[in-house]
Every structure is written in structure tokens, then in C-alpha cells.
Structure 1
Amino acid sequence: MTTDRNPTSLPVAALPLPQRRHLLAALITTPALPALAQFRVEVVGVGMTQRPIAIAPFRAEAQSPQKISAIVQADLERSGQFAAVDAAGQALDESSRPDIALWKQKGAESLATGSITRLADGRFDIRFRLWDVVKGQDLGGQSFVVTQGDLRLVAHRIADFIYEKLTGERGVFSTRITYVTKGGSRYSLWVADADGENAQSALSSPEPIISPAWSPNGGQLAYVSFESRKPVVYVHDVASGRRRLIANFRGSNSAPAWAPDGRTLAVTLSRDGGSQLYTIDANGGEPRRLMQSTAIDTEPVFAGDGRTIFFVSDRGGAPQIYKVSASGGSAERVTFSGSYNISPTVSPDGKWLAYISRVGGAFKLHVMDLSTGTVNAITDTTADESPSFAPNSRLIVYATQQQGRESLMTTTLDGRIKARLAGQGGDIREPDWGPFQKQ
């Protein structure tokens, strides 16, 4: 963690990828990439228990700019909870009574049907219905009238409806992620759908942007900008594009993390010497130091109940993950396996801790069951970084390297189902998964 004490002591490009995440003043050096990369989703692996579901092609979707049924199917497969049953060639819509025996024969336990109609004013009328094939029951449906720009959002909401009906838990397909890219000499902060598509630029700068973090209501992003030639923390309003300065104290200002109530941020500051943890009002003001320590403390993240902050410290001689009360006090060590553990993130339900561990020179995503302390490595890649939980605690998004290029992945907590969201033209990094959208 010497880069935190003296960021100019080592060439940044020589540092391992996770070490460059947001340990205070680690500058980003990445290959250039086009400003907007298109994504494709590849789902690999087989889960322990997957529900077989058929998503019939929606009536008239061949004339639609977006293939709703394909987006819904990709969402459900990526969750790790569903396996697709071939529904090609079936002419069905939301008003059809399906041949239950036929779908049972195909092995489907559930079936979704629907239609897309273009209205005279150019908008689209999308309707769908979900069937329990095993019981032969109509599980309900939804209808939407939207502009072309909202067709993908509708598909994600349909997937959310199906996921919740069949699992009893909220789906996360209509949520958003944020991530950072570098294009030419400019850095960009993007907001995209949870599958990586429909990316919109929230901010562009000639200086590095790192450590984006969603606010609990999904309306704001905290991040670190180097436009002042040092790390400074801002909060950016996603809808308006306005931003406000949160922390620009002497030395480094970095690693912002929101409290669950959205009123406070935890940050890492070196204003008093060394890298220490502070909390600060979400509108700025005077920070409050959490602990007195001679160690490097950084990468804070709040637990879902807001009472505990997990963080990285070298107080034991090497980077490990600790926790401390959000009101301050004594730190308690959390990770004991491995000699180098960084980038903690806690699941919203408080059950899981994901982090990056260096194993034989490789940086791998690990997941700890916080109730038992059991730890599992869940990837076979070697340069994982920046894990972030989905708001339903069922998936993790992270950045990694494949074939020498950086890309985003999602994984189930057991590592059995992974989906790659790969930019065709370049590299992406530092993802953060946003909260549930308001209903």
C-alpha cells in the first residue's frame, strides 16, 4: 500500500489492477477506447437449481427496434435462477391460451407470451402474460405504452415481474450500473442498464475519474476527480448534471461511500497526515475522524444497516479488511485468509462480504459468509477488481481482465453463473451497482 503514502514512488502502470482501484491517489493509466462501447452478454455456467422457462417471441416484435423477448430471456438467464426453453416458432401473445401439455412436454415450468404494437403517434404498446405451466395457472401480466427509447426498460421491467412472481424476490434488471472508461485523452463516467446496454455519459473530463458510488436513492453519484491535479470528492446529480464539491482538503480526498440514509459519506482523507477514515455530511462541511491510527485506512463501505463501516487497513503489516462502528471506536479485523485483501463490499442484506484477495500473484474475487466466516474464491480470472452487489444481494458485478482486455462481469454468489459484458472497442472499469428503482 505504498502508493497511498507516496503515489509517485511507483509507476502507476506497473501496479496490479486492483491496487489501482481507489487507494487514494492511484492514477488510472489505460489504453484508449472509443467513447461508447456496445455490450454483448455471454452467460456461462450451470446453476444448482434453475427454473426452466420459455419466453415466446412477442407477436409483431420482428418489426420492433428492440426484441423484447430476447432481452427478457437474457436477463433471466444472467440471474442464474432460470434456464431457457426453446420457444421458437410458437405464435402466441398475451391473449392466447397456451397448450399446457405442449409446454410441459418441452420441459418448461413457466411461459411468458406477449405482443408489441406500434401506435399512430409512434409510441409502442407492449403487453405480456406469465403462465405457470406446471399448475396451468395464469400468473398475471402487465401492459406499457412507451416511446422507442424506453423499450429496453420495459423489457427489464417484464423480467423483474417474472423474477419476482417465480422466486418471491425483487428482480434487479431495471436497475442501473455506473462505470468509468478512458477514451483518447478523456475519462468518462457512464450510467447504463444493469445488462450494460443503453449507456449514457454522466461526466467527461481530461483528468482521471475514479471510485464512482451510487447514492441510496439512485439519484446521485459520488466520485473522485483529479481535475485539480489531486483527488477531490464530488457528488453529481444524475438527472440534472449538476454537481457539488464535497471534500477538497489538503492532501488527498478519496474513496467516497454513502451511508444507507443518504445523509452522510465516508471518505478517506490525508489532511491530518496519513490516510484516515472520516465521515462528512453529504452536502459537505467539516469531516469527523473515525479513529486515531498511524496505519493507512481506506476503501470504506457501509453495511446495509448503517451501523458498521468495513474498510482496508495495513495496521497488521499488510492490507486486510476490518470493520468499525459508524460512530467510531476500535477496529476489528474481518479477513484472516490470505496476506493481501482489499476492495470490500457488503451485500444489502448484510449476509455477504465480497472482496479482492491476492492469491499467488493473482487478484481474485472472494465471497465471505459473514455469519460463519467461510470464504470462497469464485473466479478463475487473475485481475479482478471493484466488486459491487446487486440490490437484491443475489449477483455481483466486477471488473476483470480477459485476453488482455478489461471487461465487466456479473456472477452469482457461488460463482456458477457468470455473464460477460464486454465492450467491443475498449476497456471499462470500476463498476458500481445502483439501488432498486422506484416502482
Structure 2
Amino acid sequence: MIKNFFTSLVLIVAMAVPSAYAALELVITDGINSARPIGVVPFKWTGSAELPQDVSAVIASDLQRSGKFSPVAVSKMPQTPYTDSEVNFDAWTGLGVDAVVTGTITPTANGDYEINYQLIDVVRGALTGGDAKALNANGELELSRDHVLFTKRATVPESRLREYAHRISDLVYERLTGERGAFLTRVAYVVVDDNSTYPYQLRVADYDGYNERMVLRSKQPLMSPDWSPDGRQLAYVSFQSGQAEIYIMDIYTGKREKLASYPRHNGAPRFSPDGKSLAMVLSKSGSLHTYVLELKSRKLTQITRGRSNNTEPFWHPNGESLIFTSDRGGKPQIYQVNLSNGSTNRITWQGNQNLGGQITSDGKFLIMVNASRDGFNLAKQDLETGAVQILTKTQLDESPSIAPNGGMVIYSSMYNKKNVLSMVSIDGRFSARLPATTGRVRAPAWSPFL
């Protein structure tokens, strides 16, 4: 049936084509009231011309998108201090805020921007009055300023102001949560624009939808993008020859290489954690089965066998096993196979169907699409206890992809009868929607740390 789609195809590498697309627009749909209040004070700008990028606004948006923080609106801030010595600790703690980010931005003589910024623990400052003392190396008492969690300075060009704002967000997030931030990451996704000459478009954007650009466009379907561990390459499925084939593309040079073009189906490519192998699904022997291709030697190893269909492979973070979806029990469920000895275990039991599984980077949780009477929704399973939590309430959820720090999941869902990107926190308390300006958006893939 799919072959009816295959007429002539033109595939164009489009890295050099300037993006004409607006950023994806974040629409918060749930959970903001349960997040932790934080103060992100508008950074003081000392230049005469307009600041080309509102750094503090980017930081506030990042922290809000994480689902863990609720930045205080500027109009509700009790003050706008630019150093820790100017902070009225009691005024901030009175709002339930326990940390404040503030700083200054100064233009340099060569056209760059010097950013000085601090993260301040206002609760500790309120307890000590900001003048706690401690013994120095000489055994003398001096002001410890231990309410200042960090003070940093950087000089960046204009083109990297937004990027550095994400860097600040990562530092704040890690200092306050103990987990690495994932704001300096990207997402890849497929957009289907029926009004375009090349309706199938593979696009890459910053995790928040900014700096979007098209890296590939085609008259025939593009599917299943997946990032290499170094964030430089994308594996994907193309139908340019009339059947599904697997390619790898360098997103910076546009260089492409065909990796799999066996009879019938070639799909679902997944890079191994070390980047040396690619898991994939082939049907060259009849049923759909999972294989592993060593990229250097091109050695192909069949992992699953039998008459059942075995699809959607995903690597365990330790690289020693794969999870996959199989109908061997009647309906699709998720299984795990040990790559050294081939032993296989079923790991999902709750729900009519479970598919599209991914494991968080710490190996603790399985994120999957769970089918029940309520429809297809994302769910999280604790791999130690087996407990399952439904994370989403959206319609027809599919293609989950986990942030590299395990804090958020991006996925495709239905909104107003259209495929859009959505996000949900790993605990299910925060969710958001990122509707695109054109087309239907599917198959998102979150990049590794960059």
C-alpha cells in the first residue's frame, strides 16, 4: 500500500537555505502552579543602543519550560537588584522565592558583550542578613557571602547571546536541582507541509524552537530521525527510491551516506550510546526484526528471530541490551534483549498495548506509548518496581523522545486535528505544546548534550 506514494522524488540538502520559519511557540497547558518560584531579574543593560537579545527573558523561559521553576513576573517583583548587596532578602522570601538570578550586560570596545551574573540564595541571605562570617585561611573572621551560590563573568559575541543565555540556565538548573540542565540542546523533527513543493521536511532547532532550519526536504516521506552521540549526525529513513532506506547525514556539511537498502522494509535507526553501531529494523527475511549494524566494519547482526514482528529498538544506556516492541504475545508490548547472550524478557504488562519505548539516561525509567480505553498516551514505568504512571492527557500521542538529562519528554500529539509537538515533565506535573507555524510535526528527536 505504501508503494502507491512512490513517484519521482527530489531530495535536497538545504543547510545553506536560510530558515523562513518562526520559532515554535510554547503554550503551557498544565503544571505551572506546582513549580518552584524563582526570581530572574532583568539584567541591567549599560549600553546606549538597544540590547539585541533579552538574556534574562531567555533564562526565565528556559527555567519555566523545565517544569521545575515558575519565574516571578517582572511586574510582580519587589525590586530589581543587580548585585547581591542590593537584594532585599525578606521581600523575596515573602513571595516564596528562595533563589534570585541577576546580572549586568556591558558592551565591549570590540563589539562583544560582557555578562556578569550571580545566583543568590535569598533564604540563606535572610537568615544571615547577608553578612555571615567564616574563618579564612589565616584564621581570621571575614564575610563569607555564602548566600551567593555563584558569581560568573563571560564575554560573548552578539551571535552567541542567546546560546550563552541557555548556558546560564544550565548552570542555574544544575546548582538548584543537582541535575545537569539540557537547555543547550536541539531537537530534530519531520514537518509535513502539504502546500509545499517538497512536503516532507527534516528540520533542526534549538530545544525551545528557536534558530530553526531545514536540513533536508523531499517529495517523498522522511521518517525516524535519530541523533548521533556527538550531535553531529542524524540517521533517518528516506523513501527516495520507492522503498524505505536508512541514511546517515552530517547536518553541518550535508554529506549523506546510505546504510541500509535491503528488500522490503528498512527502518527505525538508533545510534548506540558509543556511536559505533546502529540498531535498525529490517524485513529482508520476512517478518520485521531488529538488527545491529557495526558502522566501521559494516557487520550486520540479527538480534530478534521468529515469526513475530519486532520493531522500534532503543538502546539501554549501558549499551549492553536493547528494548523493542513485539507482537509475539498477541498485542504490542515492550521486551528487552541481552546482546551478549540473546536472552529476552517482557518488561511491560499494564495496558492493552505498550510501544515506542525509551529508557532514561540513568536507566531507571521506561517512557512509552500506553494504549488503554482512554486512547494512546505517554506513560512512565519504574524499571525496578514496575509501577506505571500515565503522563499525558493529550490525543493520540506518539514518538516520545527524552531530554538527555531525563527531565522532559518531547513527543507528537494531536491538537485541533493536527500533529504538533508537545512536552511533558518526567513526573507528569508540567506540560506544554509547541505548535508549528506550518504543516504537521512528527517524529521529534531530542539531541544529546552539546
Q: Do both proteins adopt the same fold according to a TM-score greater than 0.5, normalized to the shorter chain? A: yes
1:25-424 maps to which residues of 2 (within 5 A)? 36-46=21-31, 50-60=35-45, 63-88=50-75, 90-94=79-83, 97-136=86-125, 137-183=147-193, 184-186=196-198, 187-283=200-296, 285-327=298-340, 329-360=342-373, 362-424=375-437
- List per-residue Cα deviations over 1:88-142 (Å, max 9, x = no partner): 4744335763222332233321111122333344333333211110112111133
Q: Is the Cα contact below 8 Å between 2:84 and 2:148 reproduced in 1?
A: no
Specify the code of the residue in structure 2 equivalent to 1:166.
L
- Provide the rounded CA distance (Å) in 2 between the counterparts of 1:360 and 1:49: 28
Specify the code of the residue in structure 2 equivalent to 1:76.
L
Structure 1 runs of 4+ off > 4 angstroms?
A: 6-9
- Provide the rounded CA distance (Å) in 1 between the counterparts of 2:20 and 2:217: 10
Specify the code of the residue in structure 1 equivalent to 2:100.
L
Q: 2:236 is paired with a residue of what secondary structure?
A: strand
- Counterpart of 1:25 in structure 2 is none
Change beyond 3 A, Cα 1:330–1:294: farther
Specify the code of the residue in structure 2 equivalent to 1:185.
T
- List per-residue Cα deviations over 1:147-173 (Å, max 9, x = no partner): 333222111111101011111111111
Change beyond 3 A, Cα 1:217–1:328: farther
Instruction: Among all aligned residue pairs of Structure 1 and Structure 2, give the percentage whose two residues are the same amino acid.
Output: 38
For structure 1, the residue ranges without an aligned partner over 5 or more in a row are: 1-5, 13-33
How many angstroms does 1:353 deviate by? 0.8
Q: 1:241 is paired with a residue of what secondary structure?
A: coil
Alpha-carbon RMSD: 2.4
Q: Which moved more, 1:91-100 or 1:248-257?
A: 91-100
How many angstroms does 1:206 deviate by? 2.2
- Provide the rounded CA distance (Å) in 1 between the counterparts of 2:318 and 2:64: 30
How many angstroms does 1:333 deviate by? 1.3
Q: Structure 1 residue aligned with 2:445, among 424, 432, 439?
A: 432
Specify the code of the residue in structure 1 equivalent to 2:197.
S
Q: Is the Cα contact below 8 Å between 2:34 and 2:429 reproduced in 1?
A: no
Change beyond 3 A, Cα 1:118–1:96: farther
How many angstroms does 1:362 deviate by? 2.0
How many angstroms does 1:239 deviate by? 2.4
Q: Which moved more, 1:103-112 or 1:394-403?
A: 103-112
TM score, norm. by length of structure 1: 0.87
Q: Which moved more, 1:386-395 or 1:320-329?
A: 320-329
How many angstroms does 1:433 deviate by? 0.9
How many angstroms does 1:341 deviate by? 2.0
How many angstroms does 1:49 deviate by? 6.2
Q: Which moved more, 1:93-102 or 1:156-165?
A: 93-102
Specify the code of the residue in structure 1 equivalent to 2:331.
A
Q: Is the Cα contact below 8 Å between 1:246 and 1:284 reproduced in 2?
A: no
- List per-residue Cα deviations over 1:38-72 (Å, max 9, x = no partner): 21222343379643210001112992232211111
How many angstroms does 1:202 deviate by? 2.1
Specify the code of the residue in structure 2 equivalent to 1:59.
K
For structure 2, the residue ranges without an aligned partner over 5 or more in a row are: 7-18, 126-146
TM score, norm. by length of structure 2: 0.85
| Count, aligned residues | 410
Q: 2:160 is paired with a residue of what secondary structure?
A: helix
Change beyond 3 A, Cα 1:361–1:131: closer
